[in-house]
Amino acid sequence: MSGGGSGGDSGSDRPGGDSIGGAGGGGVSAAGSGGAGPRQGERIAVRLRLRGRVQGVGFRYFTRGVARELGVVGRVRNLPDGDVEIEAAGEPERVEEFKTWMRQGPPGAVVAGLHEEPLAAVPAWDRFDIDSW
């Protein structure tokens, strides 16, 4: 990953050393794609709750890095019960790719479950942050 990753959350920690959108990785271009899919600029929002070994492994920093590379906005926080909660918004195909990365998590994480619910309204976030909201 490019940018200010920390605590082992760099792109080299990804399986096979792949970066999101890297050559041959089927990444999403910044310009999006044409075709019969959603209209360009259309956004969806979801709330994800992840269970398993998801705290103490750099999950929030991993999440922020993946989101920023994919152009997904929102926030992530640790919950008192040991889960991680993510609210994320973006173009549908990018949110789907984001969810794929969240199911995997960073090295050391074990995602035992992921609960997803759509958010009725898409918040007007302009970046992805680590929060304690």
Tokens 């792109």 appear where? Answer: 11
Provide the 10 A C-beta neighbour count for residue 96. Answer: 14
Q: What does 72-109 look like in DSSP terms, one character per residue?
A: -EEEEEE-TTS-EEEEEEE-HHHHHHHHHHHHH-STT-
> Residue 87: which of 43, 38, 25 has the closest Cα?
43
- The SS3 call for residue 57 is coil
Residues with active-site annotation: 60, 78
